[in-house]
Amino acid sequence: MEDTNIKNIRFPVETDQQLIKLAEKLGRTKLTVFKQMTEYFYRSRKDPLDFNDDLLKNTIVKGHQNLTGFIKVQEQTLLMPMKQDIDRMIGSQKKILECFNKQILEHNRQSEQQLSALQNQLTASQQSKEQLKSRFVFLLDSYAKAGTVGKEELLRKIKEQIKSL
């Protein structure tokens, strides 16, 4: 078997201590941590000197722009037509309500007029009935004054019957 670990890297003791702490924290060997760091920087194409991580910022900005574009497309294709349809529906409902209210108010006004006319007729007929009773009683009184004693009993009975009409 051939040893694949044939390369050496020389670095300061302080860096070695940092690498040991990092390896212990992650629960790996120094060699594994070193290989993983190398693989990470190779795959992500990140520069270890770039602490601001411009690639990550660019990725986030690009994702934000994609989301914003998606939202704008959804707004144009879904939300705006939906809002227009709702506005038209509200307008139609208002027109229907106005027509309905106009017809109901007209019907109520006509019904009120008819009821008022019927009430006037009933009042008039009630008054004419009372007038007829009073005239009839007056006639009987006049007849009774002209008559005899036996007629008084007859007159009293007739008056009672007239009043009960």
More confident residue, 76 or 21: 21
Per-residue pLDDT reduced to its tens digit, 44-56: 887 777 777 677 7
**57 vs 16, more confident:** 16
pLDDT at site 163: 74
Which range of 48-57, 77-86, 128-137 scores highest in mean pLDDT? It is: 77-86
Q: What is the pTM of this model?
A: 0.38
Within 8 A by CB and 6+ apart from 31, the residues are 5
- Percent of the chain, pLDDT > 70? 88
Q: Burial, 19: exposed, middle or buried (Cβ in 10 Å; 0-12, 13-18, 19+)?
A: middle
pLDDT score recorded for residue 146: 61
State phi, psi for 8 to the nearest 5 degrees. -120, 145
More confident residue, 90 or 129: 90
Supply the pLDDT for residue 33.
94
pLDDT digits (tens, 9 = 90+) for 5-41: 778 889 899 999 999 999 999 999 999 999 999 998 8
The pLDDT, as a whole number, for residue 13 is: 94
State residue 66's pLDDT score. Answer: 92
Mean per-residue pLDDT, 104-112? 91
| pLDDT value at 150 more than 70 | no
